[in-house]
Structure 1
Amino acid sequence: NCLFVHVTLLPYLKSSDEIKTKPTQHSVAKLRELGIQPDIIVCRSEKDFSKQELKKIALFTNVEERAVIKSLDVSTIYEIPLLYKEQGLDKIMCEYLNIPYKAPDLSFLEKKVNIIKNIEEEVTIGLVGKYIELRDSYKSIHEALFHAGIENKVKVKIVNINSETLSEDELIEALSKVDGILVPGGFGKRGVEGKILAVKYARENNVPFFGICLGMQIMTIEIARNVCGIAGANSTEFDSKTPHPVISLLDNQKKVTMKGGTMRLGAQKIILKQNTLAYEAYKSLEIFERHRHRYEFNPEYIPIFEENNIVLSGFSENGLVEIIEYPQNLWMVGVQFHPEFQSSIFQPHPLFVDFIKASILFLRKSPD
């Protein structure tokens, strides 16, 4: 009941237009020294390689020819399962493990890949943060936007906008070139005023906006200051002495001194209001979303927000504000949770789908 699959790299030398198989042979030899004989070898390569090279790998590694699998560079990662199935990898693995084989139906994935390869329209999303130099910092955000783009049959171009280093004029110039603005999660006061400016720009220019976790809190601060007229409104995370803590520590966090694993974490139930953007996206009155935060919308400010026609469309079971909407905008939503964690190619997250849909509308209405 054991199967060894060895994933190896076949280097391609561009100068001589040659695929090198020797590193794979050496790596298998090293595995044998440890008492491991690979049953299947998956060969990563940026360029296709010949049947002769495949036979050479099989011969010198004592692996069946059919068990040497090509894993070539493709236009999208979602094409890889189709490439493996085409070579019979699934069937070989079942055979080696003595498992009855049933051919999988990958037609849904084939349709998605076909959409990806034939997308022509492009929508530009400005990702406003302070960790933008490292793509993996917002990997889940990138993937969720990609999923939503496929669902809407558009390519999503992500423009990184540094909220910490850009001047106000530079920030506005960058924001003027996007069709939607997203402020993701994060911690600390660095770059906060730049994010607040991004929210203000989106609100005043009717640009679709999506705030996630800290992004929702930033949206709350901007609306408090510039819509509700609460001068000095802030989060106690950024200013512990703010006269108007519209964002403050959760009650159960105020006595926490040990920070490791003590945030409000995991899936939490959220109750939605009907006739809201959130309800329109989810089509449900109750949802579960994943959380990771210490700070919350201060419930003392709920009345003044509602007096100014701000929609608080989602609440936790114990009354925490989970979702805030600015209905005067084409689409402007802030959520305390992390919807990107539940998005997939098979089931794009509905909030991301609607955000991209609104961004497409903005793009089509905008002059060239």
Structure 2
Amino acid sequence: MKVLAIDDQKLVLIPLENRLKELGYEVRTATNALDAIDLYDSFHPDLIIVDINIPFMSGMEVVKYIRKTKNSSTPIMILSGNTEDAIILEGFDLGINDYMKKPLSLIEVCARVKKLIGAPKTNNKTILNKGIIIQQRCVGVVIPCYNEEKRLIHKEFTDFIDKNSGYYLCFVNDGSTDNTLEILNGLRNEREDFITVFNCKKNVGKAEAVRQGMLLMSKKEDLDYIGFLDADLSTDLTDFDDLVSTIENSEYMIVSGSRISRMGANITKRSVRSVISLAINFMIRKILSMDFQDTQCGAKIFHKEVIGISFDKKFVTKWIFDVEIFRRITLHFGLKKTKKILCEQPLKRWIHVDNSRLSMKDSIKIVGQLGQIAWSYRRKNKTLSKLRDLHKNKPVSISEIQ
């Protein structure tokens, strides 16, 4: 029995294809409508599973081609995040057999496939129930790594992507001098469809490592959102997924984790680190006039539209680039709009991990770096204001702008 699966996101197709093959189906996949039509004509599938939003033409046009142009009764299932009643009704009017709404359990998808076309003969091998969910969105996660050999719990990463479709991890090795790169390459070899490794031969600092990873991920067309996360998983992947759910189901363009102690949350910091964080946040508010609770949490997710604004240019500092991201967004959109598109979401869990690299000496350096940011972005703000004045036809001399 042959199945043709069509979706523009490869991260959705891979677990679906693997599961159907495990069950004994012969499977072909396509990521756009034109390839799908070619495959339909050559592969002659017994079932088509198609998304609505695919390149070149919609999935509904593929349905019309099969039902009207080819006059075929081949069973068709739509698997889509589109929940509009008009679309669903149009699908059934065209003669589809089933409409499945993402997110959806992969087990349920396969059960519906079996109901429509039956189950193929298999070798009776045991198929593990991994509880995979076919998600509506695809997410890239950048994880900067510097000498993480002793802290990197790679099983947590592989277990998470095994159970959560739509995640693609990019580990950035920041010139590590231990065996971090070897561990990362082993991780990639285990899950090469869902993990990539970007290697910086020299240590460039966390800010540049994250920036390079974010720009690399922004080139992947099938990702809807891109974020970054600390390698020690002080914020775990489940909590990060909550940030993704927030940005997916809101008008926010950035969702940043916030390590605010509150009832029901497990937020633990060493007392010294807690004092340092409070002092830094106070200085950020005063020096940069930014009324945010926690800019420094290492868990953030971004809509693709703001990646360029946030990461195109190199950061002024190596440590507190998060502050620069917030400052860039504020300068671009204005503080009022920024507060509407940027959400600080309290975390359920944040655990201080031993061997954290923030020392008292580093904290003193941060004070100087805050001054650098304040000076650098103050100059940029003045230039932007003068350019706006020019746009409003107000007389401003070239020497003033320079």
TM-score (ref. length: structure 1):
0.27
Q: Which structure has greater strand proportion?
A: 1
Q: Which structure has greater helix proportion?
A: 2
TM-score (ref. length: structure 2):
0.26
